[in-house]
Amino acid sequence: MTSQLFFQYLVAGITYGSIYAIVAIGFNIIYNTTGIINFAQGEFVMLGGMLAISLHSMLPLPLAIGLAVLITMLIGALIEIIFIRWLKSPSILRMIIITIGISILIREAALHVWGEGVRSLPYFNGNEITTIQLWGTNISPQVLWVISVCSIIVLLLSIFFKYTSLGQEMRACAANRLAATLCGISTKNMVTFSFMLSAGIGALAGCVVSPITYTQYDSGTGLAIKGFTVAVLGGLGNSMAAVAAGILLGIIEAFSVSVVPLAFQDAISIALLLLILFIRPHGLFGSKEAAGLKDF
Which residues of this protein are in contact with another protein, per CB under 8 A? 37, 39, 83, 87, 90-94, 96-98, 100-102, 104-105, 107-109, 112, 221, 225, 228, 232, 261, 263-264, 266-267, 270-271, 273-274, 277-278, 281, 295-296
66 vs 218, beta carbon nearer another protein:
218
φ, ψ of residue 86 in degrees (nearest 5): -90, 5
37 vs 143, beta carbon nearer another protein:
37
82 vs 152, beta carbon nearer another protein:
82
Any idea of the CA torsion for 105, 111, 113, 115, to the nearest 10 degrees? 180
5 vs 100, beta carbon nearer another protein:
100
214 and 252 Cβ atoms separated by less than 8 Å: no
CB of 210 to another protein, least distance (A): 23
CB of 266 to another protein, least distance (A): 5
Residue 134 belongs to what H/E stretch?
strand 132-134
CB of 56 to another protein, least distance (A): 27
CB of 15 to another protein, least distance (A): 22
Give the DSSP letter of residue 119: B
83 vs 214, beta carbon nearer another protein:
83
C-alpha distances in Å from residue 234, one per residue of 84, 159, 163, 266? 26, 20, 24, 19
CB of 272 to another protein, least distance (A): 9
d(CA 249, CA 20): 8
C-alpha distances in Å from residue 69, one per residue of 73, 112, 139, 190? 6, 21, 27, 19
